Amino acid sequence: MLSVLLVDASFALREALARSLARRGCHVTTAESGLEAFELLRQIRVDVVITDLNMPERDGLWLWRQTLLQRPELRGHFVLIASEPLPKRRSLELFGATERVLMKPLAVEELWREVRAAANDGKKGEGRGERGEVRDGVPRASSLQARAG
């Protein structure tokens, strides 16, 4: 059974996605902010973290950076979901090099595919493919910049 931490400020989306993942056999823990999620990650073990990019208090990239300082084994186990054009930030390029990015509106099957991939392949960014390509339907760093423009 996969253990997933799902982080999104929207209660309705968080609960709908949690139910969908639970129906697929996941144990899902939810948080409504990056700060709350970070505190949870200090207490629980998870296989995958799904986080929204834009949230109050601390955003998804902050959560990713802080988590990897404490839990480096989670590199490659993040799925970032975004509803707006992606900003051109260095941290987003770094995120895209090892993690997965999906745009809202989400297709549940697409999310499920990325969750399974993140759980099974936490080292996907190491030594495979080139920066900027789209692999398995997931844009890499320079593709993310193109979407943001």
pLDDT in tens, 2-47: 999 999 999 999 999 999 999 999 999 999 999 999 999 999 999 9
Which has the higher per-residue pLDDT, 123 or 121? 121
Instruction: Say which CATH number the domain at 46 has.
Output: 3.40.50.2300
**pLDDT band for position 146 (cuts 50, 70, 90):** very low
Domain count, the chain: 1
d(CA 76, CA 122): 4
Please state whether beta strands 3-7 and 27-31 pair in parallel, antiparallel, or not at all (unpaired): parallel
Which has the higher per-residue pLDDT, 85 or 140? 85
Range of the domain at 125: 3-148
Question: What is the average per-residue pLDDT within 44-51?
Answer: 96
Q: Which residues of 49-87 are buried (b: 16+ CB within 10 A; e: fewer)?
A: bbbbbebeebbbbbbbebbbeebeebbbbbbbbbeeebe
What pLDDT shows up at residue 49? 97
**pLDDT band for position 131 (cuts 50, 70, 90):** very low
